[in-house]
Amino acid sequence: MKQHGLTAGLASLLALSLAACGNGGEGGSEGGERASRDRGDGDTEIVRIDTNPYPSTYTPAPSGVTLIRGATVYDGIGGELADTDILIRDGRIAEVGPGLEAPEGASIVDAQGRFVTPGVIDIHSHLGVYPSPAANAHSDGNEATEPVTAEVWAEHSVWPQDPGFDSALAGGVTTLHILPGSANLFGGRGVTLRNVPSRTVQGMKFPDAPYTLKMACGENPARVYGNRGRSPATDMGNMAGYRASWIEASDYRDSWHEYWEQAEAGEEAEPPTEDLELNTLMGVLEGEILVQMHCYRADQMAQVLDMADEFGYQVSVFHHAVEAYKIPDLLSEAGTCAAVWADWGGFKMEAYDSIRENLPLLHANGACGMIHSDSALGIQRLNHEVAKALADGRRMGLEISDADAVSWFTSRPARGLGIFEETGSIEVGKRADIVVWSGHPFSSYSIADQVYIDGALMYEAGNPELQTVRDFMLGQPGEGEN
Amino acid sequence: MKRLLTALAAAAITAAPALAQTVVVTNGRVVTNTDAGVIENGTVIVRDGDIVAVGAGLEIPAGARTIDAGGGWITPGLFHPQTQLGLVEVGAESMTRDTEADDSPFSAAISVADGFNFDGNHIDEARIDGITRFAIFPSVGRNNLAGRGALADSTGLPGSLFAAEQFLVIDMARSGAATSGGSKPAAWAYLRAAMNDARTYPGRYLSTQEGIVLNRTDAEAFEAAVRGEMPIVFLMDDDGDIRRLLAFKEENPSLRIIIAGAAEAHQVAEELAAADIPVIFDPMRNLPGSFDTLSSAMNAAAQLFDAGVEVAFTTLGSDIYFNPRLLTQHAGIARAHGAEWEDAFRAITLTPAELYGYGDRFGALAPGYAGDVVVWDGDPLEVMSAPTHVLIEGEVQSMETRQTRLRDRYREIRPEHAYAYHH
């Protein structure tokens, strides 16, 4: 993991935001200004790019003090803690340990015989951009009109009333990352969401989470544009398309840097013309925007890693990565993670070499692996997906603990999204995103009994008072069903 | 390798009748799916491909090949009621796909048996996860009469298809409506006209080769289904459509009807039970993916069982040509959401066999049943469990697949070998 902890990604994002708005409001500037002018040391007004014009307005649901007692706790970073208590206060994890004292007024959850993990995190979801029902009017996930659409942002397509969010919550999902589809070389920006009901997407946005960029390699862009008789129609066309854009983005970045240097030195300087597409690509080159890249084949991933070297950026995570098991060494050398399925494949040639031990083989061979869903059904049981992969890995002789495998649906995706300092593990000080499972999370029969987001109980199995119901489902047959 | 295995297995089959081969699976928890229930520390004896004895404390015949289940579970092989195994190898590559034919002049006459690829790789993958029998479905093509399905075993051998033209698939869901002119009323109009044609076959066709909507060949193919000699699998989800089908059945009492899809069947559960209409249902489908599935729910399977509906599970949530092996996970999900274990397990073994007329041959462990036996390292509905042995008609099957061979090729990337294999 080179550059995609919260430390690197978020810190630099914050730095840029601070630079952007001068007075450093959390999450960037408050207004809708695209570029703002501030006064530097001299008289020159320096134009900055507003990196966060649609800031998060998320506020956690009210939570009291909660003590979860006596559970087997998987902390998400490799620890299995027997008969352990977790104290939640002010939405954060206050204490973790055996036999904790219950503060006055605390709600006490008897979790004896049950299991606790961090909230499930899905790094690859299209909830909201391809919502239920799959009406034509809702198909908002792919701006498949140009191979390069780095200028579009998934958050501008998310329909917050997608009932799929509620079903995912019942599956323990507390944080999810919504991506544009894979028709394009550069599909646009992804957005990381808290899985809470909200009227607006801004109300779901994970505060200060780094922006991401969806890229796609292989058959999808080549097919979409090849069928229209235009480039890219091949893998080589894909690569040429990315490289042309990176050259453009490098020039754009250089011209801004040149401008800022001159302006800061008090020289007369004209700012470059701002360009939405290139803003995003520049964000990647600056290390502030994390690349989430759809790729299947080992050889394609190797090409992309070379390209990242060529232009000096980092691929944070390869998604789908069906052949990642063939190149764990290349991935770990590059510090790039792979987000994979347990057992999907076959649907196109580049998915034909899917094997069920992909994730455990990655892990055992020293690469950073994690699970992802890319599915409104799969997201509801990422614990099962991990269990299947783990069992298949063990059957071939790989020794991986349950606790390590829990990281595949918790801390690993959190790191891949640059939000690990905030969530993804059960550690003091972190957001209290917690699932209490009815049994072992790797059992077919276990369900999420309680799901906490920022310490607030957002879902409880069998409790109609604690079922989120999106507007769409009101008055419909099936209202309140998961 | 595969060719070699195939050759060996073929040789074994040729030799079998002469050798009177006996295989014994012992020392496991035997789930019989019969009144005998679960037999702890039980034994299953298979002779010449058929089960001859099931019980505890059975004497093991001399000279028998013995498989020690090691305290694991011994169950009938799984029967998947709705797959496209052997019809598709790679979904996006039309050269590997024989599921539908938009440009064919035929509909009901289409028989998937004519396109079944017995050694498709996904069949091996299904087999090592315990699926020993499966139904093969056509997709809807030219109109809502998709064609006729078949039944096969998962040996991957020539001859594995054991029942061609076993059921007719008619798509009355949105997809069927789309190919029948564009609306559900159009799909019903087409269906009624086709019924009329098939009923009057061959008389109507003596003077002309054409019916109202069916050509002579399609009418001939549809006839058995109209007479109730062949079950019709109707694809539909919406409870309103299901009620229409119930009324249709009253008007056409000879029809043998199965409903597949059935996302809202739990809303009609009492009526389905009363009409003895079984459903093929995926317990994982719980989203309002369309306006036909608004009331789909995690506990729908449990509701169907409670009402007494005959239910077989399927795996629509995953590609039914690639991942039908996820059947046990889907059954486990039903169990997690209120279904009894016994009902959930029956829904992936005996019930599908019964739907297709093979309830006395597959899906249970009892004398007279085929020797389709699976040994598991734990509860088969648990996602972490897997088969250790799979027998089909008493033949011990290979647990190797293209996937396991890829896995073994790349299990270790070593500095001295850029590739984990030798040239």
pLDDT reading at B60 higher than 90: yes
Residues 169-208 (B) with a CB less than 8 A from some CB of A = none
What does the pLDDT look like over B89-98, one tens digit per residue? 999 999 999 9
Those residues with Cβ within 8 angstroms of residue B199's Cβ, 6 or more apart along the chain or in another chain: B223, B226
Give yes or no for B382 touching A (CB within 8 A). yes
User: Quick one: which H or E segment has residue A434?
Assistant: strand A434-437
b/e sequence A409-442, b meaning 16+ C-beta within 10 Å = bbbbbbbbbbbbbbbbbbbeebbbbbbbbbebbb
Domain spans of chain A, in order of start: 120-422
pLDDT of residue A32: 38
Give yes or no for A298 touching B (CB within 8 A). no
Q: Would you call B90 and A388 a contact, using CB atoms and an 8 Å cutoff?
A: no
Residues of A in contact with B86 (CB under 8 A): none
Residues of B in contact with A219 (CB under 8 A): 92
Q: Would you call A391 and B239 a contact, using CB atoms and an 8 Å cutoff?
A: no
Q: Would you call A387 and B291 a contact, using CB atoms and an 8 Å cutoff?
A: no
Q: Would you call A356 and B407 a contact, using CB atoms and an 8 Å cutoff?
A: yes
Measure in Å the smallest separation between the Cα of A142 and chain B Cα atoms.
18
Those residues with Cβ within 8 angstroms of residue B119's Cβ, 6 or more apart along the chain or in another chain: B2, B6, B156, B157
Interface with chain B: mutation pick from A361, A444, A447, highest number of B CBs within 10 Å = A444
Give yes or no for B337 touching A (CB within 8 A). yes
Q: Tell whether the torsion through CA atoms of A400, A401, A402 and A404 is positive or negative.
A: negative
Measure in Å the smallest separation between the Cα of A358 and chain B Cα atoms.
8
Q: Which of B145, B213, B138 lies closest to B179 in space, CA to CA? A: B145
pLDDT reading at A185 higher than 80: yes
Residues of B in contact with A182 (CB under 8 A): none
How many CB atoms sit inside 10 A of residue B15's CB?
10
What does the pLDDT look like over A240-255, one tens digit per residue? 999 999 999 999 999 9
pLDDT reading at A477 higher than 50: yes
The mean pLDDT value for A298-305 works out to 98
pLDDT of residue B11: 43
Give yes or no for A292 touching B (CB within 8 A). no
- Give CA B12 to chain center in angstroms: 26
Confidence label for A14 from pLDDT (cuts 50, 70 and 90): very low
Closest residue to A133, CB basis, from B267, B289, B407: B289
pLDDT reading at A10 higher than 70: no
Residues 1-30 (B) with a CB less than 8 A from some CB of A = none
H/E/C letters for each residue in chain B?
CHHHHHHHHHHHHHHHHHHCCEEEEEEEEEECCCCCCEEEEEEEEEECCEEEEEEECCCCCCCCEEEECCCCEEEECEEEEEECCCCECCCCCHHHECCCCCCCCCCCCCEHHHHCCCCCHHHHHHHCCCEEEEEECCCCCCCCEEEEEEEEECCCCCCCEEEEEEEEEEECCHHHHHHCCCCHHHHHHHHHHHHHHHHCCCCHHHHCCECCCCEHHHHHHHHHHHCCCCCEEEEECCHHHHHHHHHHHHHCCCCCEEEEECCCHHHHHHHHHHCCCCEEECCCCCCCCCCCCCCCCCCHHHHHHHHCCCEEECCCCCCCCCCHHHHHHHHHHHHHCCCCHHHHHHCCCHHHHHHCCCCCCCCCCCCCCECCEEEECCCCCCCCCCEEEEEECCEECCCCCHHHHHHHHCCCCECCECCCCCC
pLDDT reading at A347 higher than 80: yes
Confidence label for B413 from pLDDT (cuts 50, 70 and 90): confident
Measure in Å the smallest separation between the Cα of A477 and chain B Cα atoms.
5
- Report angle CA A153, A157, A160 to the nearest 5 degrees: 125
Choose the weakest-confidence range: A18-32, A46-60, B274-288: A18-32
What does the pLDDT look like over B23-56, one tens digit per residue? 999 999 999 999 999 999 999 999 999 999 999 9
pLDDT of residue B208: 82
- Give CA B273 to chain center in angstroms: 22
pLDDT reading at B420 higher than 60: no
Closest residue to B384, CB basis, from A223, A442, A447: A442
Residues 369-408 (A) with a CB less than 8 A from some CB of B = 376-377, 380-381, 384, 387-388, 390-392, 395-396
Confidence label for A2 from pLDDT (cuts 50, 70 and 90): very low
Q: What are the φ/ψ torsions at residue B199 (nearest 5 degrees)?
A: -65, -35
Residues of A in contact with B381 (CB under 8 A): 444-445
pLDDT of residue B422: 54
Q: Would you call A354 and B93 a contact, using CB atoms and an 8 Å cutoff?
A: no
Confidence label for B411 from pLDDT (cuts 50, 70 and 90): confident
Mind listing the domains of chain B with CATH numbers?
Answer: 18-77+363-399 (2.30.40.10), 78-361 (3.20.20.140)
pLDDT of residue A35: 52
pLDDT of residue B416: 67
Report the alpha-carbon distance of residue A17 to residue A380 in Å, rounded: 35
Q: Would you call B383 and A132 a contact, using CB atoms and an 8 Å cutoff?
A: no
Closest residue to A326, CB basis, from B287, B404, B410: B410
The mean pLDDT value for B393-417 works out to 89
pLDDT of residue B8: 44
Measure in Å the smallest separation between the Cα of B162 and chain A Cα atoms.
26
pLDDT reading at A65 higher than 90: yes
Closest residue to B290, CB basis, from A134, A353, A384: A134
Q: Would you call A478 and B288 a contact, using CB atoms and an 8 Å cutoff?
A: yes
The mean pLDDT value for B349-365 works out to 98
pLDDT reading at B2 higher than 50: no
pLDDT of residue A45: 83
Q: Would you call A346 and B91 a contact, using CB atoms and an 8 Å cutoff?
A: yes
Residues 133-172 (A) with a CB less than 8 A from some CB of B = 133-134, 163-164, 167, 170
Measure in Å the smallest separation between the Cα of A146 and chain B Cα atoms.
22
pLDDT reading at A17 higher than 60: no
Q: Predicted ipTM?
A: 0.94
Tokens of B376: 């598991």
Average confidence score pLDDT of chain B:
93
Which residue in chain B has the smallest CA separation from A443? Answer: B382
Give yes or no for A94 touching B (CB within 8 A). no
CATH fold of A120-422: TIM Barrel (3.20.20)
Which residue in chain B has the smallest CA separation from A131? Answer: B289
Q: Would you call A391 and B385 a contact, using CB atoms and an 8 Å cutoff?
A: yes
Report the alpha-carbon distance of residue B384 to residue A390 in Å, rounded: 8
Q: Would you call B322 and A388 a contact, using CB atoms and an 8 Å cutoff?
A: no
pLDDT of residue B419: 61
Confidence label for A54 from pLDDT (cuts 50, 70 and 90): very high
Q: Would you call A355 and B286 a contact, using CB atoms and an 8 Å cutoff?
A: no
Report the alpha-carbon distance of residue B361 to residue B348 in Å, rounded: 15
Q: Would you call B286 and A164 a contact, using CB atoms and an 8 Å cutoff?
A: no
Average confidence score pLDDT of chain A:
92
Spatial contact of A124 and A179, defined as CB atoms under 8 Å apart: yes
Choose the weakest-confidence range: A2-11, A126-135, A146-155, A226-235: A2-11
pLDDT reading at A131 higher than 60: yes
Measure in Å the smallest separation between the Cα of A419 and chain B Cα atoms.
29
What does the pLDDT look like over B359-369, one tens digit per residue? 999 999 999 99
Give yes or no for B333 touching A (CB within 8 A). yes
pLDDT of residue B210: 87
Closest residue to A133, CB basis, from B290, B407, B410: B290
pLDDT of residue B334: 98
pLDDT of residue B9: 45
Contacts across the A-B interface (CB distance below 8 Å): 142
Which residue in chain B has the smallest CA separation from A438? Answer: B336
Residues of A in contact with B287 (CB under 8 A): 132, 163-164, 167, 376-377
Measure in Å the smallest separation between the Cα of B331 and chain A Cα atoms.
9
What does the pLDDT look like over B302-341, one tens digit per residue? 999 999 999 999 999 768 999 999 999 999 999 999 999 9
Residues 352-381 (B) with a CB less than 8 A from some CB of A = 381
